[in-house]
Structure 1
Amino acid sequence: MTIDPAHDDRRGSRAHGSGRAALRGLALALAGLPLSVLCLVLTAVSLALIPVGVGLVTTPYVLAGVRTYANWRRLLAASWGGVRIPPAYRPLPPDGNPWTRTFALLGDPATWRDLGWLPVDMTAGFVTALLPAVLLLYPLEGFAIAAGLWRVLPDGYWYGFVRVDGQASAFGAALLALGLLVLAHFFTTRLLHAHFRLTRAVLGSDEETLAERVRVLTETRRDAVDTSAAELRRIERDLHDGAQARLVAMGMNLGTVEALLDKDPEQAREVLAQARRSSAEALDELRDLVRGIHPPVLAERGLGDAVRALALRLPVATEVTVELRGRAEAPVESAAYFAVSELLANAVKHSGADRIWVDLHHADGSLRMTVTDNGKGGARAGAGSGLSGVERRLGTFDGVLAVSSPAGGPTLVTMELPCALS
């Protein structure tokens, strides 16, 4: 008889996936129920206190917490179930007073969609998250009954639809448990996926998501145009103040050499050596300028090797892990490279870290990049750091950025760019 190793791998992978789905569903049920209840109760109390003025102060913070919780569940839906639920929140006034921020939040349909999702998550969401674990763990009771547990059970104990009153019926419970285990093997991951689809059905809104996508693309296009104009001005300034000035000086030196060649050959050689040094410095500056526009190693070797080369030049020990089976389009690679470059520069300058980890891989049609450091933490997007620029750069390609940086560290920045690899 011939054994197919690939078949065994697929069977083992499915069993591993069933166990993982059961554990994830159990974690979602145990953590999601109290958090959803807490968010709903705090929101109800805060809204009830608006007429007396207290709610005007507390509501923005409570609703911001609800958004954070909903976004966390969106992240889990994408990473655990492959179900993307893009947020469609309207931008808030940057420096609004409590009254303005409260009613801006309450006037956003996405806020009410989040609040409507909380009771659904407490009921149907709890059940669909718990089912994978129940389907996988409940058969253990049936096997235990057949192994002798039935002797200590009360008379007329029911396991499923099997009434256990002796060893024969205990074996029937074991057969039922075996059938449930077979069903768990095939349906556990599907049940967890159904939980995430339910979350998407309540939290997602195609019309508002499309409108938010149009708004984001409009902003990122404007940012891209502004960034391109600023980059062109920088290149012009660098050429004018750097390489161009050195080339002009080199031309003047060569003119001096021409005049001194017959009168003072020794001085002419000195000026010629100076012109040679100026040409070498101008060449180095041009290379640095070209590397800043589009690194040659990125064009020749791809994103993985370009990030590795970048890590080698850092003063902090950096470990790079790359799992890319191909190359993305050149604009996407360029955006990813400079995003990682900016994050590494931030980590070196501001985090105080002595070690950095970079991970690049492609999964589910997206290029996913993480930069982690063991520094002091406290990084926030939009706080005047380079993270806001990275977010705008990724937004041009419909990419997203998430930051986890508690005080004391570590800092984990995750980026995702939708793309296909050649």
Structure 2
Amino acid sequence: MNGGIVHILLEFAFFYPLAMSLVWMSGGIIYFLRWERREPSRVRPPGLVSYPMVSIIVPCHNESEHVRETISQLADQSWPDFEIIAVNDGSTDDTGAQLDQLMTEHPQLRVLHLASNQGKAMGLRAATLAAKGDYLVCVDGDALLDRYAVHWLMIHLLSSARVGAVTGNPRIRNRSTLLGRLQVGEFSSIIGLIKRAQRVYGRIFTVSGVIAAFRKVALHDVGYWNTDMVTEDIDVSWRLQMRHWEIRYEPNALCWILMPETLRGLWKQRLRWAQGGSEVLLRYWAKLLHWRQRRMWMVAIEYLISLVWSYVMGAMVLLWLLGLVITLPPSMHVPTLLPQWNGVVLGIVCMLQFLISLLIDRRYEKRIGRNFYWMIWYPIAYWMLTTTTSIFALPRAVLKRRGTRAVWTSPDRGVR
């Protein structure tokens, strides 16, 4: 096939993931050599001149199975001066009763009860207004925070007045299925490596919604979290950086999280993530055209190209299916979806990316290498998932009415 539409699409479908893998690997290596290599990991963080009060915020909705363990883990933080503010956001189970009882066990804990489901963004807003500290650490109600995580996050916030937020390093707790093991490698080789590369190249696409620290004055500057965005973490990250606040990544700030281990749960989660990315792109694209926002251009362009790539992959599958039932012009004929030489090259580069990320991440999880085998299946499983969720998410973002509040829906948290 020497020309035609399909040839152009195939070239783009091959070179885009190849180029991005090289960008992520090079950025990850630069980050490691510049910052990580000198730091002893998984030991006590370095001392600081001051230890200001930190408010740890935990928005909760129907977290009865996990909230006790989460709060107990937070109460064990090494940071000397902190409070915990848990927000019971209209839970229909006994989350509220458990939180009230936990206040008798942990004097650092305060609880806010919202009468109805207002959404995570509103819960974060309410807790921020009630917080005594000028620094906030936001943690999901089912997450377990490492004992030194707050300290590692605060190093960045205290090092520069321009740092508005710091994102931590989520690690997967549940690994009982193939999907769970794949996500262990994904958070290491994709999400962790991307955040390292984005930190090197200037702007981070998003803080992690499950573990992130904020300077309160920075949140006030951008108007806090928007309640009508399906992913409040992506939205606040873009607005902070568009107001020229810096966001950093701290891999030592570990947070152990539960992730979906069913196809249905994983689909719903990734569809929401993809829709959130599309929503911020649609809402802020006009502002991004200004020269003052040029440092955000790389993040926005990369995400836009990834959307185009997803639709190109969808078009390739559609043309292949049509070719099975009707005769297409030679320039539009897709003979097979099976990997050819380019698929082999992509597979090798993909495994090299996994290897680099695992060599870096073993500082934080000694036995993570055991998941390397399972990552062989990652390109097929997750590229398909990324493609399909992006295709479905964009029209949902376009059709969504602005001002519609995003409320809680109980996620899949793995096989029990």
Q: TM-score, normalised by structure 2?
A: 0.23
* Higher RCO (CA < 8 A, seq sep 6+): 2
1 or 2, which has the higher helix percentage?
1
Q: TM-score, normalised by structure 1?
A: 0.23
Structure showing greater radius of gyration is 1
